[in-house]
Amino acid sequence: MASHRRPKQPSRARVTVLTTAAAAAVVLGGNAAHAAPAKPSKGEVKEKVDKLHEEAEQATEKYNGAKEKQKKLEKEIDALQDNVARGQEDLNELRDAIGMAAAAQYRSGTIDSSMQLFLSADPDDYLDKASTLDQLSNQQVESLAEIQDKQRELAQQRQEASTKLDDLAETREELGKKRKEVQAKLAEAQKLLNSLTAAERAEMAQEEAKAAQESASLAGGGGPAGSGFAASAFAAAQTKIGVPYSYGATGPNSFDCSGLTSWAYGEAGVHIPRTSQAQANAGTRLSMSQLKVGDLVIFYSDLHHVGLYAGNGQVLHAPRTGTNVRYESINNMPFQFGVRI
């Protein structure tokens, strides 16, 4: 027969020990789950901030490209709309002229059925009815053909303007997105910097000031210039050493990287494209050993950064947000190729 004895109950002391251990495990586990992540070091923050600034510059060059496209489209649309307005005036004059001729025929009682057809229908429709052409004078046929050509030209220009207006709307939307992307990257970088102590931020500021001082001590301009234009462009850029970086800026009081190079060559009397990617295709490509002072220097695989070769293994450029136009070693960034304008 099976035993029906009651199981032995744990002692009060043992229950107390187990309860205390369980409570301790819960507390420790809770603390582990809610423990604040380790505060990043100054070096880690700097690395993340530099990465964010690089991403912001990538977005900046796309922003610049959209902005240039917007300007181009606005000019093209203005020109098309002007052409359409002038074309409509020409068309009205042609219609008035043939209408006056028809009125004269009507008053004299000599208006023919073909002219009546013109006055009551579209010239395109009329000219398709070739059987009536022998009833018109040569001058009337030429006038109607000119009206037809002008109408077709205006229709084409209106369609082209409409297409470009749609493209402009999309470009403006893209421009807004890229602006927000740049601003978000910069805001994230600033948030990281704000997480540092005052002493750590002061150390980083001192490091940046030291880099600026080292830049000022560099001679720059070692060796011959790539061309007369390059020499003039480099001389112009040298006058902007110490001017702050600002995304989308083309000078004269602030610059982004391609804003500085396009401004400098503009001062030399040469127009080059606005963005670094477009500037990469603006002239003859060069290896590092072929570089001369004033040549463009393109960095990163996506070509999102550009500067001017300063000689002696240095580049003069607008680095990124929080810095000023300065000299820097060409080896501090992934060199792609040079461009001689």
Q: Which residues are catalytic?
A: 257, 305, 317
CB contact set of 335 (below 8 Å; sequence gap of 6+): 288, 297, 298, 299
Please list, residue by residue across 235-248, b when 16 or more beta carbons sit within 10 angstroms of its beta carbon and e when fewer do: bbbbebbebebbbb
User: What is the dihedral sign for C-alpha 170, 174, 175, 177?
Assistant: positive
Question: CA-CA-CA-CA torsion for 228, 309, 249, 176, nearest 10 degrees?
Answer: 120
Asked if 300 and 336 count as a contact pair (C-beta separation under 8 A), the reply is yes
CB contact set of 147 (below 8 Å; sequence gap of 6+): 91, 94, 95, 98, 123
Segment 98-104 long-range contacts (CB within 8 Å, at least 24 positions apart):
98/140, 98/143, 98/144, 98/147, 101/140
